[in-house]
Amino acid sequence: MASGAGDHSQAAMNVLREKVLTLDTVNPCVRRVEYAVRGPIVLRALELEAELRQGVKKPFTEVIRANVGDAQAMGQKPITFLRQVLALCIHPDLLNSPDFPEDAKRRAERILQACGGHSLGAYSISSGIQLIREDVAQYIERRDGGIPADPNNIFLSTGATDAIMTVLELLVTGEGRTRTGVLIPIPQYPLYSAALAELNAVQVDYYLDEERAWAVDVAELRRALRQARDHCRPRALCVINPGNPTGHVQTRECIEDMIRFAFEERLFLLADEVYQDNVYAEGSQFHSFKKVLMEMGPPYAAQQELASFHSISKGYMGECGFRGGYVEVVNMDAMVKQQLLKLRSVRLCPTMPGQVLLDMVVSPPAPSDPSFTQFQAERRAVLAELAAKAKLTEQVFNQAPGIRCNPVQGAMYSFPRVQLPPRAVRRAQDDHSAPHGEAAAPAGEAEAVPRQVHP
């Protein structure tokens, strides 16, 4: 009898059973997530690269990745001072080496003294090393002309993306028609659509005005908000400045209009400002939302809630892989800020190398430091090259028949409009290949298709 039971048990174990986790049982919010920046086109590019390495003959010899703003992958050189301090922090024995400048050694020692066990291998507190948060606060004060910044309102993060996700987690609530809606700019950086899908929030699109260099139109914001209130509860307004993927830089007047709109409509402001070092066009200037908000005075300065984000991934640094960033919160309820700290605690702490590099970015060498001259020269060279590429990209596009591109004022992208020839449109209509649910352009009319390109 025991033997029979064993045989039965063995037979049951040999029966192929359905997996616990299948595409039908996986979180439906995850299925809705789309992130084209690293989607099917990128996977196909990887396949092509592999085929080229294997000697498969193609009508091309290399694949150039233009899907993501990864500066160093495209040949940008790291800034020497940043890497010197990081190397010293990771391997403190190098502090005895004559190959490193004294100011880099002082900076490394200062940071190591603030680390648990004087080691970069220790956890920091969840909001980030206190010393570095203080340095970030001083950077924000300098940037904004002396407007105070409180280190207790600054949370370091694993890149800006991590901080953005955390703040969105705080905002998202409700079911059905009470689900949280977040206004995001179109064209947009796909992080926002992907994050909102994952969190089961509602994406509320507002369209930037291409004819006005991708400016924000308050009338368009009101249209988007009015229509959204029929099916969700809008609670936040997101802006990307300088713009990804449009390459625009919002004027101060435009920023003031957005702040007034957010205040009047009781919307939490999310300011993605990771490209604040990348401003190229003559007459364009970066204005932080924090600075404009404070200078607008009451009631805005004292009441409008704001979270602004920065990162080491872009700018002149391009240190994407080290994943460093921060969020500064303004006018956030004290109890909600405790909840933000709790969410950060679940993640334990931001990456330590990322925190070190962030500290170098917000407190670079002073004019009296040995590393100052080289640092400034390298920084200027990177930004000058990016500016030249931005101008070249715009010029080349506008010389091509059927393509029109606004001036690239900042960030690292252009967003040209492609006019499809009438014959191509007719061919698409004949082949029934127009996008499902969308009307094809009438025969003889050109179809405008914007596309994102990284300079």
pLDDT given for residue 246 in this prediction: 85
The Cα–Cα gap between 187 and 324 comes to: 25
pLDDT in tens, 370-429: 999 999 999 999 998 888 888 888 888 889 888 888 888 888 788 888 888 888 888 888
The dihedral built from the CA positions of residue 69, 72, 76 and 80, taken in this order, carries a sign that is positive
- Mean pLDDT, residues 211-216: 88
pLDDT in tens, 230-282: 889 999 999 999 988 888 899 999 999 999 999 999 999 999 999 999 888 88
Provide the 8-state DSSP code for 122.
S
pLDDT in tens, 54-88: 888 888 888 877 766 777 777 788 899 999 999 99
DSSP readout, 375-415?
HHHHHHHHHHHHHHHHHHHHHHHHHSTTEE-----BTT-B-
Task: Give 194's contacts (C-beta < 8 A, 6+ positions apart).
Answer: 33, 34, 35
Q: What residue ranges do the domains of the chain occupy?
A: 22-67, 107-362
Q: What are phi and psi of 329, to 5 degrees?
A: -105, 140
CA atoms within 13 A on the CB side of 321: 5
The Cα–Cα gap between 94 and 228 comes to: 57
Residues across the chain: 455
What pTM value is reported for the model?
0.81
pLDDT given for residue 50 in this prediction: 87
Mean pLDDT of the chain: 84
SS3 52: helix
> In Å, what is the CA distance from 251 to each residue of 11, 256, 288?
72, 9, 10
Label residue 44 by pLDDT band (50, 70, 90): confident
Q: What is the CATH number of domain 107-362?
A: 3.40.640.10
Structure tokens, 206: 């507002």
The Cα–Cα gap between 52 and 39 comes to: 20
Predicted confidence (pLDDT) at residue 143 exceeds the cutoff of 70: yes
Q: H-type helices in 67-146, by residue range?
A: 80-90, 102-113, 130-143
If we measure between CA atoms, which residue out of 65, 119, 124, 59 comes closest to residue 89? Answer: 119
